């Protein structure tokens, strides 16, 4: 299959950046400690904030650090794709007998898989070593977490792909990508779990696509979603995935119809 080869190639590509992976693991781990102690201080004052006990709160922190690179929680676009659109290299991609969105989705899944292994496992293990974490004991929950994380990557990609396609109309998409990245950092639950926010705002935040990127997979891992709630969570992710990918296809066909490839 072409697209599995694209994903595998992308996985190998990111595997060649060993120093970047090591540096990333270090950063994620250091931030994990900082945020974990902040949460501990907060949960000491307000136990059961958002319905989480302290172990669950700290687990949420380390899950966030583990998924940060893989689900691209701080990144608002698809940098390489934006660059290709900006320079006109996208023309080369359009000559291929392959679907642009599927191609980049496969590449992003390959990247996410490498970064989940390379930048996710170690920080989580370090976190488990130094803090009492609320990790599941059964394989099924882990499997559900993996499925949920995969869906999180799909939703994240679908949204970032839309942002990247905006470069067909904007000369430079980095501003938009930055705004989108900031929105993602907050609304994914990276700053604080979305359940902590009270009232209508909290409810709204949990309905937005960013909730599918961290809040849902973290809740699956913590055991805060089981049974019907677990299925609803996965369905919520799948719905946003399908919706955003479909939107991406619409924008893609508009973009390729109007394509004025920059740089001749």
Q: Could you list the residues that contact other proteins (CB under 8 A)?
A: 1-2, 5-6, 9, 12-13, 16-17, 88-89, 91-92, 94-98, 256-257, 259-261, 264
Nearer to other proteins, 200 or 263 (CB): 263
Question: Minimal distance in Å, beta carbon 24 to other proteins?
Answer: 16
What does residue 71 show for φ and ψ, rounded to 5 degrees?
-90, 0
Q: What's the CA dihedral at 24, 224, 215, 110 to 10 degrees?
A: 50
Helix (H, G, I), strand (E, B) or coil at 131: coil
Q: How far apart are CA 262 and CA 91, in angstroms?
A: 9
Nearer to other proteins, 53 or 89 (CB): 89
Question: Minimal distance in Å, beta carbon 4 to other proteins?
Answer: 9
Residues contacting residue 233 through CB under 8 Å, at least 6 positions apart: 148, 216, 219, 220, 225
Question: Minimal distance in Å, beta carbon 103 to other proteins?
Answer: 9
Q: How far apart are CA 220 and CA 140, in angstroms?
A: 11
DSSP 194: G
The answer to whether 222 and 62 are in contact (CB under 8 A) is no
The answer to whether 189 and 215 are in contact (CB under 8 A) is yes
Q: How far apart are CA 129 and CA 115, in angstroms?
A: 21
The answer to whether 220 and 230 are in contact (CB under 8 A) is yes
Question: Minimal distance in Å, beta carbon 261 to other proteins?
Answer: 7
Nearer to other proteins, 46 or 257 (CB): 257
Question: Minimal distance in Å, beta carbon 115 to other proteins?
Answer: 15
Nearer to other proteins, 94 or 246 (CB): 94
Nearer to other proteins, 53 or 83 (CB): 83
Length of the chain equals 264
Question: Minimal distance in Å, beta carbon 9 to other proteins?
Answer: 6
Nearer to other proteins, 2 or 23 (CB): 2
* Closest by CA position to 180, among listed 77, 85, 70, 80: 77
Nearer to other proteins, 87 or 229 (CB): 87
Question: Minimal distance in Å, beta carbon 94 to other proteins?
Answer: 5
């Amino acid at each position: 299959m072409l697209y599995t080869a694209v994903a595998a190639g992308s996985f190998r590509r990111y595997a060649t950046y060993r120093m970047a992976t090591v540096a990333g693991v270090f950063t994620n781990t250091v931030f994990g400690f900082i945020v974990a102690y902040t949460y501990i201080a907060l949960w000491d004052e307000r136990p059961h904030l958002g319905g989480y006990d302290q172990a669950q709160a700290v687990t949420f922190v380390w899950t966030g650090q583990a998924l940060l690179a893989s689900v691209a929680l701080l990144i608002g676009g698809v940098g390489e794709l934006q660059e290709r659109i900006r320079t006109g290299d996208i023309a080369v991609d359009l000559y291929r007998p392959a679907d642009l969105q599927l191609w980049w989705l496969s590449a992003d899944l390959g990247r996410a898989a490498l970064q989940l292994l390379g930048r996710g496992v170690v920080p989580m293990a370090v976190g488990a070593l130094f803090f009492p974490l609320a990790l599941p004991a059964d394989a099924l929950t882990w499997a559900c977490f993996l499925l949920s994380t995969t869906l999180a990557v799909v939703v994240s990609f679908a949204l970032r792909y839309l942002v990247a396609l905006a470069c067909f109309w904007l000369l430079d998409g980095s501003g938009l990508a930055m705004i989108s990245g900031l929105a993602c950092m907050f609304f994914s639950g990276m700053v604080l779990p979305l359940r902590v926010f009270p009232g209508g705002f909290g409810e709204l935040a949990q309905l937005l696509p960013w909730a599918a990127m961290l809040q849902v997979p973290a809740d699956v891992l913590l055991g805060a979603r089981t049974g019907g709630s677990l299925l609803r969570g996965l369905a919520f992710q799948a719905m946003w995935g399908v919706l955003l990918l479909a939107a991406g296809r619409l924008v893609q066909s508009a973009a390729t119809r109007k394509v004025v490839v920059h740089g001749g």
